[in-house]
Structure 1
Amino acid sequence: MADYTIVEKDSFTVLGIGTELKSDYTDFAGINKEKADFWQAVKQDGRLDALKSIATNHYIFAVNEAVNNKMMHYAGVMTEASLPEATRLIQFPKGEYLVVKGEGQTGEELSQKLTGIAFGQVLPEVKDFAYVGGPNATVEMGQKNGLVFGEMWIPVVRK
């Protein structure tokens, strides 16, 4: 089984710029393409740099959340500030989180890899915890040896 931990986290908020994912939730190739296109757009048009300029730390969040029966995906940061182009303040609850660590060539590769491991391997095998919804995020934490490293944070409850 993939390496994971269960960690207690205080509640926190991420300011995000988002997009609705139109692919079926089982269409992983379609979802990954939509996410990649979104990230390319927010990097090219300066929205990601604007978010990073008001962040309280250097973490970049790729957040997935169901909102009004829509699959939403956000680029976000922890901050006390606001931006006109930001589309949502995403509340993460206090509680236990499944944390999966990893690395990739890019932030997008890291996010795809961690999402696949967390939802495809760890959650189906973990018997004591369950994901019952709410926002989850891949957190890009930095670079080391030419690779992007980070974690996937998924709120879970004990069964």
Structure 2
Amino acid sequence: MANYALEEKESFTVLGIGTDLKSDYTDYAGINKEKLEFWQAAQQDGRLDALKAVAENDYIFAVNEAVNNKMMYYAGVMTNATLPEASRVILFPKGEYLVVQGEAQTADMLGNMLTGIAFGQVLPEAKDFAYVGGPNATVEMGQRDGMVFGEVWIPVVRK
């Protein structure tokens, strides 16, 4: 099984700008294409810079959340501030989180890799804990040696 940790986290808030993913939830190529196009647009039109300006730290969140039976995807930052262009305040509850760390050449590659490890390897093999829904996120934490590093944070409960 992949290296992972279970960490207790205090509740925190992510302010996000988002999009409704239209691809079927089993169409990974379609979902990844939509996510990449969304990030490119958010960087080009300045929405991501506006979020970074009110962030409490340097972390950039890519949040997946089911809202009203829609697959929503957000670019966000940890903050209690609000912005007119932000589309959602996402509350992550206090509790235990599955955390997988990694690094990749780009933030997009990092997110895909960490999500794949967490949902494709760790959670299916887990005997003592399970993901039961709620927002989950990949967190871009910085760069070193030309690589992007970060973690995936998925709320879990003990079985």
Q: TM-score range by the shorter chain?
A: over 0.9
TM-score when scaled to structure 2?
A: 0.99
Quick check: 1:26 aligned with 2:48? no
- Describe the superposition over 1:52-77 as per-residue Cα deviations: whole angstroms up to 9, x where unpaired: 01101000000000000000000000
Tell me, in whole angstroms, the C-alpha distance in 2 between the residues paired with 1:100 and 1:18. Answer: 24
Amino acid at match of 1:55: A
Identity %: 79
TM-score when scaled to structure 1?
A: 0.99
- Note the 1:37-56 alignment, pairs <5 A: 37-56=37-56
Amino acid at match of 1:34: E
Aligned residues: 159
User: Equivalent residue for 1:65?
Assistant: 65
Q: Which 4+ residue blocks in structure 1 deviate beyond 3 angstroms?
A: none
- Describe the superposition over 1:130-156 as per-residue Cα deviations: whole angstroms up to 9, x where unpaired: 000000000000001100000000000
Tell me, in whole angstroms, the C-alpha distance in 2 between the residues paired with 1:106 and 1:53. Answer: 22
User: Equivalent residue for 2:10?
Assistant: 10
Amino acid at match of 2:118: A
| Partner secondary structure for residue 118 of structure 1 | helix
- Cα deviation for residue 79 of structure 1 reads 1.1
Name structure 2 gaps, 5 residues minimum: none
- Describe the superposition over 1:73-106 as per-residue Cα deviations: whole angstroms up to 9, x where unpaired: 0000011211110000001011000000001111
Tell me, in whole angstroms, the C-alpha distance in 2 between the residues paired with 1:64 and 1:17. Answer: 12
User: Equivalent residue for 1:103?
Assistant: 103
Tell me, in whole angstroms, the C-alpha distance in 2 between the residues paired with 1:154 and 1:80. Answer: 21
Name structure 1 gaps, 5 residues minimum: none
